[in-house]
Structure 1
Amino acid sequence: MEINRATDENIDELTDGIVSCGYTGRVSVDKKDQIIRAIVLHSTMRVVPMLDQLRKGLQLYDLLEVLKTHPDLCLPLFVPGEDDKVDATFILEKRQPDFSERGSVKYSREVNIMNLFQDFLQETEDCEQEGWSDEESEVPQHLTVGRIMQWMTGQAHKPLLPSEKKDLIISVKFYHDRDENHTICFPTVSACSRTITFPVAHLTIFSEFKNIMKTALTHGQSFHRV
């Protein structure tokens, strides 16, 4: 609260706000306690009728009973809590790669792809937070971590229910056979089964991986499987 941080030099700047809250005494630093009590009382008198009106509205649809029966599920609807925005860490925690035999050449290539995927997610998230331009980041402005999540699973946010969040798994598969009919292979996804399949060919360095992922995400409809 600004009143707590106020000093003799700047408390006069808060006079209008203090008076509008019903305080009628002298505005000074040594009167902080009285000013704060007046502000709290003023806020309470405004909030209580609003809450009472909300309670009456909820009664119309028996939502009060729902609140009593399922308080944990209803809490996020009224109290700010965990952000449901998807970040790189969430996707990486939910991925479940189907690796080949450990120590094999295939396994090494698959691990490399997972490292490139992690770098791609992190760069995309950094661009979101910093607001880099396309020239600076080489990542399209419309591309976000939530967009990548939606491409793979069909939803761009974290599941609301804790049970759904716990059970969410993104299966990662690898395609080692190379199709001779074309020179570039793209990853494919199945949102229904929450599966993404990476072609091992052409996904060896980050620049290649990023360009192929950007193309697949931009023209995502062409790379979906039922």
Structure 2
Amino acid sequence: MAASLAEGGPCPSFMREWCFRHLCSGDSDTIQVSASDVTDFELSQLIERINSASNDISNLVDDVVTCGYTGIVSLENKDSMIRTVVLHSTMRVIPMLDQLRKGLQLYDLPKIMKTHQDLCLPLFVPGEDDEVCSAPHLYLPSGEEPPCEIGSADHQKEVNIINFLQDYLQEIEDSGIPEGLTAGRIMQWMTGQRHKPVLPSEKKDFVINMQFNHGRDTRHTVCFPTVSACSRTVTFPSAHL
């Protein structure tokens, strides 16, 4: 991770903000976390069960005590119980963050991160643009064939594929279903990373190349899109369209 950041490679834009703050300072006593920062499925479910409990909470005693809660398990102590679960979830991650911080120290990155937190935050914490995969605005014809003539049947197929892909990306982006296929995951399939470049110089030149294979060979075997993540190129076969 340290080498990737120092040498301009993909950034680890997958952390919570409190994780980034801890990497900057190394002080776990100053971090601020809430129930929304709990990413462990079982613990997040436990928090929901505590919040939704209205009459009897005795069935949660074992789970809450396992998280280190030492008070009385009752409806009146919901907030204290949730804080304990959040703290338990946080402390499980701290040792891993400390190891990451030691690796970052090889390049003296924690000092830079602490001094320029606003600039470094997008490198570690996903923002609004990280899950957005802009529809490709450049497509290239297949290298096996000359460029198709505008208005031809092949050109119309290319336009239809581009329009369908753009509409599909917009549809899944608007759906907001995190468990399903997202634009970021499609971008990871196409480019090897699910986030846009952060540096302006890299973002300006970031393009996904679209190629089309109009081969008429009836014995062809590839009937699905193929990807070269290194060159950020997607090739669509159009023989069956």
Normalised TM-score (structure 2): 0.43
More helix by share: 1
Normalised TM-score (structure 1): 0.45
Largest Rg, 1 or 2: 1
Higher relative contact order (CA 8 A, sep 6+): 2
